[in-house]
Structure 1
Amino acid sequence: MVTIEPPRDRFTRNYLIFLGVLGSLLLAWWLPTLDPRVWDLNDQLATDPELAAYSYTFRVQSIDNGVARVYSPRSTRIPALRFLAIVEPRLRGRDANDPQIIAAQHKLGKVQGRAREIILSHPGVSRLVWVEDIDWHARRGIVIP
């Protein structure tokens, strides 16, 4: 049986070539960003009982030259109370000196310290840089200026 291919005009042919080249370029740009070390660390962070019990999921963004970039809910540009009120709604409206707020801040520090400990124990990581998780805040209605 003979299949008949419908004729393509010049524009369609050029457009398909353009899309193919664009797709190849995007794939070539994206592939180097895949890093099994990042996947491994994110798996370790997700399965750690102390971190898994916390309301925020710490994630490694990338590892470059031994420096791990790790998402953190902390931001120097917004008060910690805003973050804490999201992960622990019972803290909404409390004063910064409230013992429960102070305890929640200590808990965040402890959990973040545990994430740091796990990441720095990885053989490919010698240093850690915290990165504000702007997307996490934005999904919860907090705009970081």
Structure 2
Amino acid sequence: MDRLTLSAIIASAAFLVFLIVTLSWHNDELRPRIWRLNEILEQDPMLASYPYRFRALVFLNGTVTLSSPHALERPLRPFLDRIEPALTGKPDNAPEVQDAERRFRSVEAHAVEMMMNEPDVQTVNWALDRAWYHQNGIELPPPPPLSPVAR
């Protein structure tokens, strides 16, 4: 292959990639669905005003997985103490702690509602946001080991 042909192929491929990226960026239908779900979460005033940013991590077969600072394996209190330092040292039944928990549950439920309002979302799952804990210097127990695959 001569140099001119190779240059023409490279230029054509670069133009094609540019065209695809440009069209997908400006056309909602061509942009990845996960990007659009995250935009919905980011643009909601209630979610935007909360100190934690819920994010859509995976969207597959009608199921969206959202990040959360709380999951079954992790208590909510260390998260609340970090975002509201005035709660540190107060008992769990203190009115301020109860209010903070209610606010979190309300915002979390609103994030689920936002996703369930989308016509192609049937289920919402949660994934513990281990990166948030790491970034905030809160130690987490190691994740549970994966179970061996049945043969």
Q: TM-score range by the shorter chain?
A: 0.7 to 0.9
Give per-residue Cα distances to partners, 1:91-145, cap 9 Å, x unaligned. 1111101100000000000000110001111122110101100111111112221
Question: Aligned partners of 1:124, 1:144: CA distance in 2, in Å?
Answer: 34
Give per-residue Cα distances to partners, 1:55-82, cap 9 Å, x unaligned. 0000000101111011011133333111
Counterpart residue identity of residue 107, structure 1: R
Q: CA RMSD in A?
A: 1.2
Partner of 1:109: 105
Partner of 1:143: 139
Alpha-carbon contact 1:60-1:68 (below 8 Å) kept:
yes
Question: Aligned partners of 1:96, 1:42: CA distance in 2, in Å?
Answer: 33
Runs of 4+ in 1 over 2 A off after TM superposition: 75-79
Partner of 2:13: none
Please say which structure displays the higher CA radius of gyration. 1
Question: Aligned partners of 1:75, 1:123: CA distance in 2, in Å?
Answer: 26
Of residues 54, 60, 65 in structure 1, which corresponds to 2:56?
A: 60
Counterpart residue identity of residue 134, structure 1: R
Q: Which runs of 5+ in 1 are unaligned?
A: 1-34
Of residues 21, 42, 53 in structure 1, which corresponds to 2:38?
A: 42
Alpha-carbon contact 2:69-2:79 (below 8 Å) kept:
yes
Cα drift, residue 38 of structure 1? 1.0
Counterpart residue identity of residue 93, structure 1: G
Cα drift, residue 48 of structure 1? 0.6
Question: Aligned partners of 1:104, 1:42: CA distance in 2, in Å?
Answer: 24
Select between 120-129 and 110-119 the one with higher mean Cα deviation. 120-129
Q: Which runs of 5+ in 2 are unaligned?
A: 1-30, 142-151
Percentage of identical aligned residues: 35
Task: Report the secondary structure of 1:46's partner residue.
Answer: helix
Alpha-carbon contact 1:77-1:144 (below 8 Å) kept:
no
Matches within 5 A, 1:20-39: 36-39=32-35
Residue 95, structure 1, aligned to residue 91, structure 2: yes
